[in-house]
Structure 1
Amino acid sequence: MRLTLLACLAFLGATPLAAQTLSGETFDCVMDPVDVIALGAPVTGILEDVLVRRGERVTKGQPIARLESSVEEATVKLLRTRADSDEAILAQTARRDLIAVQRERIATLVDRNVASAEQLQEAEAELVAANALLAQAELEREIANQELARALQQLDQRTIKSPIDGIILSRDLSGGEYVAANGSIVSIVQLDPLLIEAFLPVELYPAISNGQRAMIAPAAPFTDNYEAQVITFDQVFDAASGTFGVELELPNPGSLLPAGHRCILSFPGDG
């Protein structure tokens, strides 16, 4: 609805431009956030706590909310105990070393014709079996470490983090509520950069190009002008209004300028 209004304003307010020039012309525009994220959770569950409030600034990676995670914490504790245990490996190593010593003794006795070849073969078979059991113990230790790593990732998923630097636009759920698969916990708005949207008469289409500089004058109470850059423009015209859409990017460090505000767009020259 807002874009339709802008299109009509651009169509009614622009003067005929036979020379297809941008210089000296002004156009109504709107300052929008570059992104609005309805932040959910990768897993379902009961919210333990929401750590932010509406209007609060957040940074990328900052914890936003936590799901109840007592089961996951208990699983991590169990798997860490198993992964840290090396008793099985130590026991199999000691058994393998003992069998290896016995095999060497039997080999010496065979050389002296005191023991039989069959005894040596049995000792060698026991040594092979001992090495296999040691390898199995080491494999089980590696599997336990991998299971622990997976459990830690599952536990980490219970902490919901912000994917961007932004501002909390709304807080949709509170502690104790259930987070569904498509549920939103908070909405985060990214205000740096801002996205400037405007509609220009189709006569100006040849004069617009990506990367083109423009000046943005936000409506009151702001009094300064800010430089923006064209990032895209419509390849399909709106026949009803005789306009086409243009989007510009306006750097907004510190998110000092608000989104959802009207502005005036002008171009300092033809390039």
Structure 2
Amino acid sequence: MDFLKTTEQSSHYNNLENMSASELLTHINNEDKTVAVAVEKAIPQIEAIVKEIVSKLKTGGRLFYIGAGTSGRLGILDASECPPTFGVTHELVMGLIAGGDTAIRKAVENAEDDTNQGWKDLLAYNINSNDVVIGIAASGTTPYVIGALKEANKSGVTTGCITMNENSPLHLTAKYPIVAVVGPEFVTGSSRMKAGTAQKLILNMISTSTMVLLGKVKGNKMVDMKLSNDKLVDRAKRMVMENLNVSLEEATILIEKHGNVRNVLEKYKA
């Protein structure tokens, strides 16, 4: 199939170095406004994989994100926010990046070009057919990611992807592809910009909708959040006050006694 790498096409803008700060910011913002529209078009694809993820997680499976560079970092960010937000274990949603933990802060030379390492990294977690692996690559051509998904397919592991290039190798490899075509970047080829924004939006949609469907949200509140800092403890108290119509002092006692909002509400809410 024909493959046009839109993420590498020339920017719609030129002579950036001659623009004022105001012009640069306005043009970047105008490009960013198009991202949500591109993501909206991919909602049916996102829905398909969310349903699969929920089904797998309900039967003991796990969700893995795997990527390189910006894509890998965004996957790790989304995975790392699931435990404090939804009270799940750190093993339920995990992010892997080409080059390992060092690559989270600093680029690891040639790490994304290894076609075998991605699958090796997944094997370290005893990846199996109960799990879901989502490969993230704006270009859709990252060998580290494609190689991992190819081996996952062979092993009966459910695969998905988030990419910005239709008919790219990654798109054609994943069983549940998500393709959001955001077009050329403001700075040609800088896929940390619109492509990265689209990836972040999609990851938010996947993890949040999955956790809601797994019952980790009540009403619109994060009742399972881990009370790991003063802000979250204060939020928990206010949630208890609102739901049970009790004073701050009573809410404080209940949170300290039962550990989180869900436990309090399940015990005391009529």
TM-score normalised by L of structure 2: 0.21
Higher CA-based Rg: 1
Higher helix share: 2
Greater relative contact order: 1 or 2 (C-alpha under 8 angstroms, separation 6 or more)? 1
